[in-house]
Amino acid sequence: MNTVLSRANSLFAFSLSVMAALTFGCFITTAFKERSVAVRLAVSRVTLKNVEDFTGPRERSDLGFITFDITADLQTIFDWNVKQLFLYLSAEYSTKNNALNQVVLWDKIILRGDNPKLLLKDMKSKYYFFDDGNGLKGNRNVTLTLSWNVVPNAGILPLVTGSGHVSVPFPDAYETTKSY
Amino acid sequence: MLSLDFLDDVRRMNKRQVLNFGMIVSSALMIWKGLMVVTGSESPIVVVLSGSMEPAFHRGDLLFLTNRIEDPIRVGEIVVFRIEGREIPIVHRVLKIHEKQSGDIKFLTKGDNNAVDDRGLYKQGQHWLEKKDVVGRARGYHCLLQGFLLHLPKQPGAGHSDIIRGLM
């Protein structure tokens, strides 16, 4: 321990070990916690159009418009190892073309310290709900669920789905008027 | 001047010290390679280089990756993918998936902090990503002092500092 370099090296190695121990403690105390809560979802309006997919492949595809409500209290999920929650409302359904489709309609970031109680009414989707083809027309079973990605200070990044979902039947005909 | 002192130290090391040194380096390497096998990923630990996933991930944070092919790709997941012709992998969130009965899947990604999806980043004419583009999933996270790791000097034998590489 007689050069600056060897002292700096030992110091660095020691701090790294301490940080590793802290990280592990942070992680192990919250790793097995239940992170799901009850969520109430409701859909007030469903409209269906068929247009060229301008967000990507330029083929005529079904475009859905959903107006929804979300009620949830996420207070219990936040603890000292949760930095933020990335919420996303996703629609899951199956069509003739694809056995499984999942589309994120809306998302929101809730940081620790922000209001964790959600009371959203008449929300419009943030992202265009294009299908890969024409599979939304007459689709009786499009299920909406609210999920969240827990971002910790240190630890696992789990994806948790709230308990509570709503099934939306899509209309059999396309809407031709300009309304949303 | 500093480098000459270092070389003198090396010459003064006796056989036991050299062996000791070799043990440390090889055990570090074994742990790293072991991690690669367990996670299935080429780089199990990466450093975040861009701000496109803020406020979740900031520059300098650590991500722990796995790359198990049997893990299904679902929306909300944070995947690490490489675009054809580009060297640097990108770590973004899955926004949309369309999976066929056969298991063939095409999906779209978007960075949390970006206003639009990643279609502008994909190759010209490419609208979707496929399983073959995925090089890992982000499974764990560690927030770190901003930029600290990116400024570490890369010296051989400087302990464990060169185990962690930036990749995004």
Q: List chain B residues with CB under 8 Å of A15.
A: none
Q: Do residues A44 and A78 both lie within one domain? A: yes
Paired tokens of B28: 């570090």
pLDDT over threshold 90, residue A10: yes
**Does some domain include residue A114?**
yes
Given B76, B108, B161, which is nearest A149 (Cβ)? B76
Q: Do residues A25 and A82 both lie within one domain? A: no
- Please count the other Cβ atoms lying within 10 Å of the Cβ belonging to residue A38: 10
CATH of the domain at A153: 2.60.40
Given A16, A109, A159, which is nearest B112 (Cβ)? A109
Interface contact flag, A86 B112, Cβ < 8 Å: yes
Q: Do residues A132 and A156 both lie within one domain? A: yes
Q: Do residues A44 and A124 both lie within one domain? A: yes
First to last CA, chain A: 73
Domain coverage including residue A122: 35-168
**Does some domain include residue A47?**
yes
Active site residues of B: 52, 92, 118
Q: CA-CA distance, A152 to A136, in Å (whole number)?
A: 37
**Does some domain include residue A107?**
yes
Paired tokens of B114: 């970006």
- Among A2, A52, A90, A108, most B C-beta atoms within 10 A, so best to mutate, is A90
pLDDT tens-digit profile, chain B (168 residues):
566 676 666 666 688 889 999 999 999 999 999 999 999 888 899 888 888 998 899 888 889 999 988 889 999 999 999 998 888 889 999 999 999 999 899 999 999 999 998 998 898 888 999 999 999 999 999 887 654 444 444 344 333 333 334 433
Percent of chain A clearing pLDDT 90 (strictly above): 47
Q: Do residues A92 and A123 both lie within one domain? A: yes
Q: Do residues A84 and A42 both lie within one domain? A: yes
Identify whether the C-beta of residue A3 lies closer than 8 Å to the C-beta of residue B5: yes
Q: Do residues A1 and A57 both lie within one domain? A: no
**Does some domain include residue A108?**
yes
Q: Give SS3 for A26.
A: helix
DSSP B127-167: --EEGGGEEEEEEEEE--STTTGGG----TTSTTGGG-EE-
**Does some domain include residue A59?**
yes
**Does some domain include residue A177?**
no
Give me the number of domains chain A comprises: 2
**Does some domain include residue A178?**
no
Here the ipTM equals 0.84
Q: Do residues A20 and A70 both lie within one domain? A: no
**Does some domain include residue A55?**
yes
User: Which H/E stretch holds residue B16?
Assistant: helix B15-39
Q: Do residues A157 and A93 both lie within one domain? A: yes
Q: Do residues A127 and A59 both lie within one domain? A: yes
User: A96 to chain B nearest CA, in Å?
Assistant: 9
A104 in reach of chain B (CB within 8 A): yes
Return the pLDDT at B147: 42
Q: Do residues A39 and A87 both lie within one domain? A: yes
Q: Do residues A85 and A3 both lie within one domain? A: no
